[in-house]
Amino acid sequence: MDEEISKKVDYCLNCKIKPCSIKGCPLNNNIPEFIKKIKEGKMEEAYNVLCDTTVMQSVCGRICPHQKQCEGSCIRGIKGKPVSIGELEAYVGDFAIKNSLKIKGKKEKKSVNKKVAIVGGGPAGLTCGAFLAKNGIKVTIYERYDFLGGLLIYGIPEFRLDKKIVKNTIKNILDLGIDVKYNQVLGKNLKLEDLTKEYDYVYLSFGANVSSKMGISGEDLDGVYGGNELLEYGNHPNYKGKTVIINGGGNVAIDTARTVKRMGANRVIIVYRRAREQMPAESKEINDAINEKIEFLFQNNIVKINGNKKVESVELIKTKLIQKEGDTRLYPINIEGSNYKIDADYVIMALGSKADSYIKELGLELTSNSYIKIDEHFKTSNPKVYAGGDITGGKGTVAWAARNGRDAAYEILNQGEI
């Protein structure tokens, strides 16, 4: 253990109340315990502690919004700097990969002859598959691409998450005995009704990556793109020397902006209708973007995109934040008469995402927002079909998707006949 890691491990108070785990971590990782094991030099035990709740240590340790989650709940952070929980988690995950440590299955597996199909090999699907396989269930993942990882591969740029780390993490999961069938697209060469006949249960986790729109004039002009689609498919226009405006305040907005800047854009502007403090993106990512000369227009709102056939300019309006009676949250409202224009070549919408329209053909009950409707046990209107992650309107972080996958696995395992 190097000196820097040793200092960070010693800095942890090993709190008995564990606010970092219970309040801060979506996966409820036993953070004080795995740090204690690092301090004792028991790295394999530290890895096993984490494996009780997560199978993506090297990934989550790098990309989770730690300041809003575990580190944001750290007791040390009340009067000073919090423990570097994310870095220490990644350290353990990297050690496991380097030393070929394996995810251990349960010592006393039940003798089962049950099969589960998972549709979608992103964080939710991979985690669900891992926790089922650890408990003796035969798992097959059906993936639309010729690779696994979902947004870990196409949604998060290489400069923020090394794809070798993702691939090694996935390999460790598959080594639990999980089968994969690639290039399987639900609604095309893969049918839900066939899966429900072949398998005991099906878990849907194929995500929701269609960019949301504002419903304003000019969104159909040439030069208006969705951030999710640009990151997923990589069909970028030529940004060299151009002005690009990105609308949104989450990780997709930041990742898209930094990607566009690296591809030669002259001016990249992120427009966000609330204040910086309310931005969903991690503070570190915002600072990195600022250091890369990306501009931010906080408390501004796009009201119109101008142009004949292609984007020429964007009309914005300034906003102010108000508090509604009986509500502690702040809401942006437009300031009348504060309109102004900025010349632009491209506009990228990064306001969130929604499910693809083909989910309406699955024969499952949907929510009013067109997500797959599930109960508190992740069960859909078809008792053999479970779902989780973005496709159910879940919280849009990797850790929450993984939590959905893990909890759904336990719900499936808790069925009487398994």
Reading the chain (418 residues) residue by residue, the pLDDT tens digits are: 788 999 999 999 999 899 999 999 999 999 999 999 999 999 999 999 999 999 999 999 999 999 999 999 999 999 999 999 999 999 999 999 999 999 988 755 555 689 999 999 999 999 999 999 999 999 999 999 999 999 999 999 999 999 999 999 999 999 999 999 999 999 899 999 999 999 999 999 998 888 999 999 999 999 999 999 999 999 999 999 999 999 999 999 999 999 999 999 999 999 999 999 999 898 889 999 999 999 999 999 999 999 999 999 999 999 999 998 888 889 999 999 999 999 999 999 999 888 888 899 999 999 988 899 999 999 999 999 999 998 998 777 899 999 999 999 999 999 855 5
CA distance to 32, 106, 124, 399, per residue, from 28 (Å): 11, 19, 16, 10
pLDDT on residue 329: 87
- The residue length of the chain stands at 418
Long-range contacts of 318-326 (CB under 8 A, 24+ apart): 319/273, 319/274, 321/274, 321/275
Q: Write b or e for each residue in 107-134: b if 16 or more Cβ atoms lie within 10 A of its Cβ, otherwise e.
A: eeeeeeebbbbbbbbbbbbbbbbbbbbb
pLDDT tens per residue, range 299-345: 999 999 999 999 999 999 999 999 988 888 899 999 999 999 999 99
Q: Whole-angstrom Cα distance, residue 28 to residue 37? A: 17
Residue ranges matching CATH 3.50.50.60 in the chain = 115-208+355-413, 212-353
Q: Which residue has the tokens 């689609």?
A: 229
CATH 3.50.50.60 matches 212-353: yes
**Residue 171: Cβ within 10 Å count:** 11
pLDDT at 416: 58
Angle at 374 between CA 369 and CA 378, to 5 degrees: 140
Q: Is 305 within 8 Å of 311 (Cβ atoms)?
A: yes
User: Which of these, 50, 56, 53, lies nearest to 33 by C-alpha position?
Assistant: 50
Distance spanning both ends of the chain, measured CA to CA? 43
Residue 326: the pLDDT is: 84
Q: Which residues contact 3 (CB under 8 A, 6 or more apart)?
A: none
Percent of the chain scoring above 70 in pLDDT: 98
Q: Give the model confidence (pLDDT) of 221-273 as tens digits.
A: 999 999 999 999 999 999 999 999 999 999 999 999 999 999 999 999 999 99
Which listed CATH number (1.50.10.100, 2.60.40.790, 3.30.420.40, 3.50.50.60) goes with 115-208+355-413? Answer: 3.50.50.60
Which of 251, 248, 306 has its CA nearest to residue 273? 248
Multiple choice CATH, 3-98, 1.10.287.610, 2.60.40.740, 3.40.430.10, 1.10.1060.10: 1.10.1060.10
Helix axes 31-39, 85-98, angle to 10 degrees: 60
**CB-CB contact of 136 with 111 (8 Å):** yes
Q: Where in the chain is the domain with CATH 1.10.1060.10?
A: 3-98
Arithmetic mean of pLDDT over the chain: 94
Is residue 178 within 8 A of residue 141, CB to CB? The reply is yes
Torsion of CA 34, 37, 43, 45, to 10 degrees: -80
